[in-house]
Structure 1
């Protein structure tokens, strides 16, 4: 059987929806990133690292766990953390329970910085997403995104 006959092509409405998704995610990511860089001098990726750390007990996560939660390769996360570490916003250390692992911790300076810039990011999210969708559609959007984010293909890098 011809390989092209083994799958179903997107119809025109599905293709349009797919392209709208690609455009929306690229546009939103760019807008949120721009607002953070302009107002706080930090990228959306860097903000997400700080934010995730702030939400954990002891403001510390193992680098591999942080990478999985952010859906970043470990090498990409390492570069981001290195930049944040250079600013004194995070610190890395050997994991106490397993010396082969590396923990990333939010520093006091990092926590203060995050607290100062969080309103900038939240307002940006409101401006670009929440206010456009409204509360109910925002909640529906979150549920749809949750479905899309359930992909457990295991394609992430295994090296730290």
Structure 2
């Protein structure tokens, strides 16, 4: 049976792929260069003065700010923007240095938490001086209050 009274299928609008303009790409590249440059400087200062990578510093900060100075390994990986295997290797090194300890989650036999040790907390306090000085020198002092407010507003819009 032929149903000629049926409405034709609706066509979906075709989305035109619009590439970034040269000005938009210039903004993107400036953002990447600025980020990479500041991170490179902060990393070099932490490594040079504290013998601590920026990623290790970030792990110590995240743990210091967590309730009980502890996070599940999966939460820690999400917080420091590393893969689970990457955070596992980093926590292995920090554990060998006595800065972090691991423990099984009592309520979940499979879960593991990373805990900041007192030694790790002391190390973080010293390293924070280097890091925060770098943030001031390489970021804060290069911008005025209006720039900082604009940048924060813009960056919040980019966070998923």
Report the TM-score, using the length of structure 2 for normalisation: 0.86
Alignment of 1:1-160 (within 5 A): 6-150=16-160
SS in structure 2 at match of 1:116: helix
Report the TM-score, using the length of structure 1 for normalisation: 0.86
Structure 2 unpaired stretches of 5+: 1-14
SS in structure 1 at match of 2:52: coil
Question: Larger relative contact order (C-alpha < 8 A, sep ≥ 6)?
Answer: 1
Which aligned runs of 4 or more in structure 1 are off by greater than 4 angstroms?
none
Q: Which has the larger radius of gyration?
A: 2
SS in structure 2 at match of 1:80: helix
In structure 1, distance between residues paired with 2:117 and 2:101: 7
CA RMSD of aligned residues (A): 1.3
In structure 1, distance between residues paired with 2:82 and 2:156: 17
